[in-house]
Structure 1
Amino acid sequence: MRLLIAILCGVLFGAGMIVSDMVNPARVLAFLDVTGNWDPALAFVMGGALIPSGLAYLMHRRMHAPMLAKDFAIPTSRRIDRPLIGGAVLFGLGWGLVGLCPGPALASLTTGAWQGVVFVAAMLAGMAVFHFFPARAVVVQGAPHGRT
């Protein structure tokens, strides 16, 4: 049942990315071009995502446990450290350079655009390098697999 719900959530997310055209790197790059031909569409998509996210956060506060798990997986750390900043910088640079991030890139595979295919292939290669050749394992309380 959990797998089915996860798949349905992924399909819903991907459909939202396709309908909002966030799988189009040019659309995202136009949002980031604040001094040129700026396109505010991404701001509306992000703003729209805050509504169900905010509602879910409020609902979780009234629940003792989620319906399909024994505990909520909500980070408790408020620490801003070097790995967090480095990861955010790398994510932002990659997003700004190519106009894709992991979720929309996966959704873009359904469109057949070569940019999405190249991005996902590079993303999977990077994940494999991290998995098989970690520079160092960082143990973080509550992190999956003991690494971040």
Structure 2
Amino acid sequence: MRIVFAFVAGSLFGVGLLISGMTNTTKVQGWLDVFGNWDPTLAFVMGGAILPMLIAWRLTRGRAPLAGGQFPAPPKPELDHRLIVGSVLFGIGWGLAGLCPGPAMASLSFGGLGGGVFLVAMIAGMLAAPKLGAQLDRLANAA
């Protein structure tokens, strides 16, 4: 049953990305071009994701998922060196490529060789992240 829910949720996510144009790298780069030809449509996509999630967090308190288990606790915001460095690196990659992980996966079917190279590089970065994070922790603790 969990696989069915995961498939439905993933399909909704992918279709939403395609319909909203978030798999189009120039649209995403237009959002990031605040001082040029700025495209504010990504704000509506983010609002369309944040508002239902806010409601979902409120509605799930004290309830169990239909497929069993339990809902994860809402994350506690923690502003530390890992968040700052990770956000900067994510932002640089997002700005250069115009893709983040979800749209990168969705664009595999039409992104050509560039989309595949981006996905491989993204996976390599994700595999290297724990070692980089451990180094950041050592540097932060030494300072």
- TM bracket, shorter-chain basis: 0.7 to 0.9
Match of 2:100 in 1: 101
TM-score normalised by L of structure 2: 0.81
Q: Is the 8 A contact 2:28 2:98 kept in 1?
A: yes
User: Displacement, 1:113?
Assistant: 3.7
Q: Which protein, 1 or 2, shows the higher relative CO under an 8 Å CA cutoff with sep ≥ 6? A: 2
Aligned: 1:2 with 2:7: no
Q: Distance in 2 between matches of 1:125 and 1:24?
A: 23
What SS does the corresponding residue of 2:99 show, helix, strand or coil?
A: coil
User: Does the 8 Å contact 2:57/2:74 carry over to 1?
Assistant: no
Query: How far apart are 1:95 and its partner, in Å?
Result: 0.7
> Is there any run of 5+ residues in structure 2 with no aligned partner, and where?
137-143
Count of aligned pairs: 135
Structure 1: segments with no counterpart, 5+ residues: 139-148
* Counterparts of 1:106 and 1:88, CA distance in 2: 20
Structure 2 residue aligned with 1:32: 32
Q: How many angstroms does 1:32 deviate by?
A: 0.8
Alpha-carbon distance change, 33 to 76 in structure 1, aligned in 2, over 3 angstroms: closer
Q: How many angstroms apart in 2 are the aligned matches of 1:14 and 1:78?
A: 27
TM-score (norm 1): 0.79
> Hey, which of these two has a bigger chunk of helix by percent?
2
- Name the CA shift for 1:79/1:38 in 2 (closer, same or farther; >3 Å): closer
RMSD over aligned Cα atoms: 2.2
Which 4+ runs in 1 deviate beyond 6 A?
none
